Amino acid sequence: MSPKRRNSLSSREETRLSKLMALVLRHQPDRVDVELDEHGAVDIDELADAIGEMPGWEFLRPEHIVQVVEGCPRERFKIDQDNHTVRASYGHSLPEMVVYEPAVPPAKLYHGSSPHDASDIQSQGLYPLDRQYVHLSVTARLAYEVGSRHDDEPVVMVIDAAAAHADGVEFYHATDDIWLVKHLPAEYLVEWDKQADNGNEEFDEDEEFEDDVEFEDDDTEDED
């Protein structure tokens, strides 16, 4: 008997599918036996069919993939309507580099880290660790949020993106909030001084931020 058709996912199912899609599109496409193109994209119907082979997901339809993409508050995924494909916007650790087109960045970008890592960053610059690219935030608030996942008192670094770009460093536009770079030399970094930043990024360090939804296979979690 074929599974009963479902018009939409429940909130819990949407969260679980978002995490599973992140696992597949960022890290393990072979988990459901799909192949990604050079941009990390796969046909929506193919992805839905592949996930639908997994126990508990037999009801899955392409419109459920679309529901997850449209419901993500931070553009974790993007759909190419012309090619009918979906991809993760950032966060890849695939063996083959995902291709982005270089773009002109904002004058300043930010990166949040633990105090321990910040000392190395200030001397060595920014390098990707377990991902293909370094993730940069468009505001200090967002960078602080990212850093706070790794330390209760994160350090926020300011990136002179305009100068770096002028000197030939390539930046890539992942989402409205996130830019990517392969490596950023230390000369373009300085520790952020909240009091000296014209008050534009004032916020309460004790404020609670929404957790980013990453990947799972029920018991698997992504850190970033």
Q: Where are the domains of the chain?
A: 11-88, 102-196
- The amino acid occupying position 82 is D
Given a contact cutoff of 8 angstroms between Cβ atoms, the answer to whether 138 and 111 are in contact is: no
Residue 223 tokens read as 């850190």
Q: Measure the CA–CA gap between 207 and 213, rounded to whole angstroms.
A: 19
Q: Measure the CA–CA gap between 59 and 53, rounded to whole angstroms.
A: 9
CA 19 to chain centre: 12
CA 59 to chain centre: 27
Residue 92 tokens read as 């890849």
Sign of the CA dihedral with 91 first, then 97, 38, and 107 last: positive
> Shortest CA distance to 146 belongs to which of 125, 177, 120?
177
**Confidence label for 100 from pLDDT (cuts 50, 70 and 90):** very high
Residues, the chain: 224
Strand, coil or helix: 89 = coil
Q: What is the pLDDT of residue 3?
A: 56
Place of tokens 């069919």: 49
Q: Measure the CA–CA gap between 62 and 48, rounded to whole angstroms.
A: 5
- Hey, what CATH topology would domain 102-196 get? ADP-ribosylation fold (3.20.170)
**Confidence label for 49 from pLDDT (cuts 50, 70 and 90):** very high
Place of tokens 């350090």: 155
Given a contact cutoff of 8 angstroms between Cβ atoms, the answer to whether 88 and 118 are in contact is: no
Query: CATH number of the domain at 11-88, please?
Result: 1.10.10.970
Q: What mean pLDDT is reported for the chain?
A: 86
- Same-fold call for 11-88 versus 102-196: no
Convert the pLDDT of each residue in 121-171 to its tens digit.
988 999 998 899 999 999 999 999 988 988 888 999 999 999 999 999 999
CB atoms within 10 A of CB 102: 11
> Of 23-37, 83-97, 206-220, which gets the smallest average pLDDT?
206-220
pLDDT tops 50 at residue 221: no
pLDDT tops 60 at residue 175: yes
DSSP one-letter code for 133: S
Convert the pLDDT of each residue in 28-45 to its tens digit.
999 999 999 999 999 999
